[in-house]
Amino acid sequence: MKNYKGKNKKQWNNRKRRSSNKKKKVKVDCIAIDKQGKGVAKINEDNVSVPYLIEGEKAVVEVSKKRNYMTGKVKNIEKKSEDREVPKCPHYYQCGGCQLQHMKYEAQAKFKEKTVKGLLGKYGKINEVITMDEPYDYRNKIHSTFSAGKKGKVISGIYEQYSHKVVPIDRCIIQDPRADNIIATVRKLMESFKFKPFDEDSGRGFMRHILIKTGNTSGEIMVVLVVASKMFPSRKNFIKALLKKHPEITTIVMNINNRRTSAVLGNNERVLYGKGYIEDTLCGCVFQISPKSFYQVNPIQTEKLYSKAIEMAKLDKRDIVLDAYCGIGTIALILSSNVKKVIGVELNNDAVKDAIRNSKRNNIKNAHFYQGDAGDFMVQMAERKEPVDTVFMDPPRSGSDEKFLSSIVKLSPKKVIYISCNPVTQERDLKYLTKHGYNVKEIQPVDMFPHTYHVETVVSMVRKGK
């Protein structure tokens, strides 16, 4: 046997790597769909993940082995599911922003309900998922990245899945179409004003991203131009030209991000036109939305979600409610008319300022907002023996940590309403809470993001003995 050294050894390792990654075509049956909406096919003893394949389908799949796992790519579907349909978006198979457009919407809902049952079914009956009547054009927050295309043409879109290559998109069927029109105009203006898209590798260029937020009820539109330098050449003429084409825009903000990072927004902002924020009405309350404010991206389904969560809480006019992770105060202010007092806690100081402004804007006197760690806040309340009847919690996708959950147990509210955008981490947290004094009473899935695998869930819990 040869002794491979130096370059020869490298060639040998490359040859082995190529052979291990060798692709082959296999006929498969799709036996399930995983939590990310990908088909699952069994090849020999291995479960192979195959995007865009539906349970019950037969297909020819190109299989690649990468280190310790295998992936599949559909080459031909020999037996199609009745749940399959042609995606309405021409960018679907390249973009990656949606994962379920190849499934009829009714089938998407069943898939999400089944996913929730698989994770949370052991805690009780799962209600039928709340769906959208019109599952398109729902996103009120739109982010697009600028890049240089062929022959210097400016393109905009989102990064291709697993890469930093921008997929040019003129129309996204799940976001507000007004935003697509504005982005198209900005691209044309960039070319006429000779503004170069920012290049992450070289650090050169001016325009990085555009962020657009739209008010579903108010109709207001905010445009955030994310640029690499505080020097904005021909700024007044650029803004004038944009407003002439789109007089519906109510405010324009310049956000300066000169960092070599994938973060979209920088720390410095300058209002170029209008108030620097928009307002929108949700469940009867008016909210001020700034460039960095967190506000649910699907207002139609958010009203259904929050209304259901408040209904599940069975609130009383004598109740004191704590809204942990309160953000800009949406849940706290919406439920305030149903209770004696509501307390909101949020770590982000800017969000707390927004919440206080929103409470004044709606003339709500019984809502109080504090900046700080919600877990520490609850422990301090428990030590002072301050009563809380119900805790609402809406954590990020990572869920809550044990410190936070133990603080709920210490505070010991009669009811906990847990809103989650990730039933996987919610299941983990429910395991802790049910072991420490709480019973699950109701589980409600809500389809907040049609055509994606994401599903929101609301779980109501009561303290044992209540």
Q: How far apart are CA 352 and CA 327, in angstroms?
A: 7
Query: Are 432 and 404 spatial neighbours (Cβ–Cβ below 8 Å)?
Result: no
Nearest to 212 by CA among 191, 242, 244: 242
Q: How far apart are CA 267 and CA 19, in angstroms?
A: 48
The per-type count for the chain, helices as H runs and strands as E runs, is: 11, 21
**Could you say which of 95, 285, 326, 421 is catalytic?**
421
Nearest to 391 by CA among 316, 311, 460: 460
Any idea what the Cα angle at residue 147 is, between residues 162 and 294, rounded to 5°? Answer: 65
DSSP for 217-268 reads TT--EEEEEEES-S--TTHHHHHHHHHHH-TT--EEEEEE--SSSS-S--SE
Structure token digits, residue 380: 């301090």
* Helix (H) or strand (E) run with residue 380 in it: helix 374-383
* Helix (H) or strand (E) run with residue 403 in it: helix 402-411
| β-sheet bridge partners, residue 251 | 222
Asked about 421 being catalytic, the answer comes back as yes
Phi and psi based region of residue 96 (left: phi greater than 0; alpha: psi -120 to 50; beta: remaining): left
By residue count, the chain amounts to 466
DSSP for 410-448 reads HH--SEEEEEES-HHHHHHHHHHHHHTTEEEEEEEEE-S
Q: How far apart are CA 369 and CA 323, in angstroms?
A: 9
Work out the number of other CB atoms within 10 angstroms of the CB of residue 134.
Answer: 9
Residue 261 CA from chain centroid, whole number: 20
- Please, which residues have CB within 8 angstroms of residue 135's CB and are 6 or more apart in sequence? 105, 174, 447, 450, 451
Q: How far apart are CA 246 and CA 253, in angstroms?
A: 15
- List residues with catalytic annotation: 421
